[in-house]
Amino acid sequence: MSRRARNPLSVVVTAAGIGTALLVVAYFYVNGVAHRVDPQSETAITVSPRVPVLSARRAPNTLSTITRIDRLDRALTTVEGRIPNNACLAVNWMDRSMLDVRADTAFVPASSTKLVTAAVALKVLGKDFTYTTNVHAKMDASGTTGDLYFVGGGDPSLIRAEYPSLEKYATTAGTSLEKLADAIVASGVRQISGSVVGVDTRYDNIRFVADWPTSFYMTEAGPLGALFVDDGMILGQQFKPDNPALAASQELTNLLVARGVIIAAAPRHETLPDDVPVITSVTSAPLTSVLKDMLVNSDNNTAELVLKEIGFAAKKTGSTVAGLQTVQEVLAKWKIKDVVMNDGSGLASSNRISCSAFQKILSQEIDVFPSLLAIAGETGTIRDAFTDSSVKGSLVAKTGTLSGVKALTGYLTIQNSEPVIFSLVMNEAGIDNKSAYRPVWYALSDALNRAKSTPSLEQLIP
């Protein structure tokens, strides 16, 4: 069952009627101006309009919009027949529902789930929120400390300089671990008679989400923790350690040794004593930059750590459960239904989100999200898609992929106009194969592009 936009002819007739009324008002106004009397000379000043008052040339923007709405509506008719039975599609433009195919039915959204995580993070944390990673130590006059405590603040973007070159989609807003190492040396540390001690007590120690298949562990995401460097890796090692705080401490140890700091013992993972002061810290980029990397690159670890930070901020508990509870509370306030989330990244196949819910999220975040999403044919998870399409560079979206799941949700940006908002979630065996989903994606993008096609002035003249 689909719900089409209102008859485009009736829209045109209605809008034309409104336009005529406006032109009549304009006629009397201009007529009054054309025959007004100069109080000094009492001589009538006659002004001849260059364009007839009732000409369609006086309302080109209105008629252009009506024409583009009609074109989009007609083009979407061809897309509707391509949508699998187990899928939803919704298209909205300028507060009009242009197409609704099972939009209120919730489907497995895969990584499109990150849009909900991002929207709630902006609400709970604020767009200017930053993560802070602290270093604590008791240092004597010679620059010697016992243990140096490396305290995680939940920053998912803490990286070494080499790491982006190893990523499929490079981090662009990383927090420099080298900068922190330099700051430690600048603070006066010359020798550590103990260890670099990783502290990750801001969040719980649950490293993976219960709803994930174990095959996703270490590869798609995790192990998770509040002290997290290079996605939990140690550069030069093939496998991730089980403990991300210990891995992070090893990375910092390596950098400090390279800077001449003498360290007596191997890294450890413990809690922070109460009486050890902060000697330096490093701050992340603003939340919007972190979320942009998360959405453009579909970074699962970032999504899960952002969800834990949501829980920490709202409930003083840095856990997936607390984060998910907060998400549902915020969605309820926004009156958004049809959302079942069991993680923040979309790796859980038990998640369910409707296209209608996505449309509401996208509409609500229309001033922020377009700049945070991957650009068709250029960046992130759609850099290799739409490379030969007319929407290259103007369609921005979040993808979603699991076995039997493919999603594309975002905007078609239009110069000097509101973007077209669309949500497509398909659940069908084999739909994640390029040969299955690409034809649907391209048909949809070609239809959406009709909203960009501005008719010439001559085409608008009756």
Identify the pLDDT of residue 14: 45
Neighbour-count burial for 329-358, b at 16+ CB within 10 Å, e otherwise: ebbeeeebebbebbbbbbbbbebbbbbbbb
Contact predicate 109/349, CB 8 Å:
no
Residues 6+ apart with CB under 8 A from 310: 117, 120, 121, 124, 125, 322, 323, 326, 327
Contact predicate 228/248, CB 8 Å:
yes
Identify the pLDDT of residue 35: 36
Residue type, 403: S
Identify the pLDDT of residue 416: 86
Identify the pLDDT of residue 238: 81
Residue 81 has pLDDT above 70, yes or no: yes
Is domain 132-285 in CATH 3.50.80.20, yes or no? yes
**Would you say the C-alpha torsion 258, 263, 265, 267 has a positive or negative sign?**
negative
Identify the pLDDT of residue 4: 54
Helix (H, G, I), strand (E, B) or coil at 285: coil
Domain ranges of the chain: 2-66, 75-125+334-457, 132-285
Phi-psi domain of 446 (left: phi exceeds 0; alpha: psi -120 through 50; beta: other) = alpha
What tens digit of pLDDT does each residue of 149-193 get? 999 999 999 999 999 999 999 999 999 999 999 999 999 999 999
Residue 87 has pLDDT above 90, yes or no: yes
Contact predicate 150/271, CB 8 Å:
no
Identify the pLDDT of residue 11: 42
Q: List the structure tokens of 300.
A: 């699962």
Identify the pLDDT of residue 434: 98
Identify the pLDDT of residue 102: 98
Q: What are phi and psi of 36, to 5 degrees?
A: -70, 160
Is domain 75-125+334-457 in CATH 3.30.930.10, yes or no? no
Its pTM stands at 0.86
What tens digit of pLDDT does each residue of 206-216 get? 999 999 999 99
Residue type, 86: N
Share the mean pLDDT of the chain: 89
> Exposure of 429 by Cβ count < 10 A (0-12 exposed, 13-18 middle, 19+ buried)?
exposed
Identify the pLDDT of residue 19: 46
